[in-house]
Structure 1
Amino acid sequence: MRVRLEGQYGPELREVAPAFVVLALAVVVLLGGLVWLYGRLGRPGLVLGLVVLAGLAVLLVRRRRAVLRRRRGYYLWAELQHRDEQGLAEAAARMLRRDGWRVRYEPWEGTPRLLCRDTTGRRLDVTFRPGDGADDGTSSAPAPLRAAGPAGLGAEIRLVVSTGSYSRGDVLWSSRQGGVHLLDGHQLQRWAEGTSLAVLLGD
């Protein structure tokens, strides 16, 4: 998991070999199906088979584009809102690299944690909180992302990411810590769609 989150993960032969075998079998089955349809129905059967194949090709292309989009660090909200902490950390690592951060995976007390550094030397400590939508009922909207006082020791920014919202108590807590930012579901959605983290942090 560490190498995956740090962007050093690449497929090995034993991982891609099954996919090649499945692809070869699929080609054989599809060609066999076309021959069978042509033998049973003639040209209409062949046309029907080609239409079905074209539809499958479109679905595969769309799926491939979605995979490539996520690898570049762009996500749809539906792809993030039900992720657990580990899945959210993986997505955040890709988005951070998209924004120019170097990412190192350092779990803390069994929970995901990302330690990051950008080209200017700024440091970012990212932790995650389940999207439980916790709210104390005193606020009708998610707490905004806000700087909580002066930057932390060594100009380190601490960021807490959640797919849910933060209560007013959470915001008050962060304001007493210094250098803590809360990223709620609304801002996470903007980040996932391409807004730079620097913009969300008010830089």
Structure 2
Amino acid sequence: MLPGFVGLGLAIVVPVGFLGWVYVRFGVLVLVLSVVLLAGVVMLLDRWRRTSARRRGGHYTAAELSRLDDEGLTVAAARMLRRDGWQVVDVGEPGRPRLYAKDRRGRELDVAFRPVTSADEGASGPAPLREAGRPGVDNLLRVVVHRGDFSRADVLWASRQGGVHLLDGQQLGRWAMGSRLEELGL
């Protein structure tokens, strides 16, 4: 508790001491500019802190998702699963991200990630078939996450498999904004 009070004291004493020094050394005009600059820095730090806390809580915007690389998308998906009450383990290998998750009801997920290629980014194919999510033989639900759209061949492949769910970019965006996996048909 003492380190917290010391940190709070320093957070107050250092800026006030700096502003006092600026006033004595340079006058009122520079003092006013310093106060404005200090307020701007505090506002930027607060905004960064809030954004970081929102992301750690498993909430992302579509723009944030689009900027993530494969590793970042894996971290984001793990956070979103934890937000939805799943216990998550990263079982991926280098270059092949993969998550395993289990919830309180005993459901198990195997989450794989399909990278976006330049051909995928502009495509606007059909939405995945919703009946593709029947449990497989081992009762492990497989989820393939993709920031783009799945091709018709992907959708047909998933519909022939047992327990495969395709989560396209539109559904990923809804999930990132706070929808639960159950609301997305899982």
2:85 maps to 100
- How many Å apart are 1:159 and its aligned residue? 0.2
Q: Match for 1:71 among 24, 36, 56?
A: 56
Does the Cα contact within 8 Å between 1:134 and 1:166 map onto a contact in 2?
no
Question: What code does the residue aligned with 2:132 have?
Answer: A
**Normalising by structure 1, what TM-score?**
0.76
- How many Å apart are 1:143 and its aligned residue? 2.2
C-alpha change, 1:65 and 1:142, in structure 2 (3 Å) is: farther
Residues 130-187 of structure 1: CA distance to partner in whole angstroms, max 9, x if unpaired? 122655x9x8445236231631123211000011111111101111111111111111
- How many Å apart are 1:44 and its aligned residue? 2.4
- How many Å apart are 1:64 and its aligned residue? 0.2
C-alpha change, 1:142 and 1:34, in structure 2 (3 Å) is: farther
Q: Distance in 2 between matches of 1:158 and 1:102?
A: 16
Q: State the 4+ residue runs in structure 1 displaced beyond 6 angstroms.
A: none
Equivalent positions of 1:107-122 (< 5 A) are 107-108=92-93, 110-122=95-107
Unaligned runs of 5+ in 1: 1-19
The 3-state SS of whatever aligns with 1:174 is helix
1:186 maps to 170
Equivalent positions of 1:115-194 (< 5 A) are 115-132=100-117, 134=119, 140-144=124-128, 146-148=130-132, 150-194=134-178
| Corresponding residue pairs, total | 175
**Normalising by structure 2, what TM-score?**
0.82
- Whether 1:48 aligns to 2:33 is yes
C-alpha change, 1:179 and 1:133, in structure 2 (3 Å) is: farther
Does the Cα contact within 8 Å between 1:149 and 1:176 map onto a contact in 2?
no
- More moved, 100-109 vs 113-122: 100-109
C-alpha change, 1:176 and 1:133, in structure 2 (3 Å) is: farther
Question: What code does the residue aligned with 1:124 have?
Answer: L
- More moved, 37-46 vs 125-134: 37-46
The 3-state SS of whatever aligns with 1:55 is helix
Unaligned runs of 5+ in 2: 1-6
Does the Cα contact within 8 Å between 2:132 and 2:165 map onto a contact in 1?
yes
- How many Å apart are 1:39 and its aligned residue? 3.8
- How many Å apart are 1:37 and its aligned residue? 3.8
Q: Match for 2:47 among 53, 58, 62?
A: 62
Q: Distance in 2 between matches of 1:196 and 1:145?
A: 19
Supply the RMSD in Å over aligned alpha carbons: 2.5
C-alpha change, 1:124 and 1:83, in structure 2 (3 Å) is: same
Work out the percentage of aligned pairs sharing the same amino acid.
Answer: 55
Q: Distance in 1 between matches of 2:113 and 2:56?
A: 20
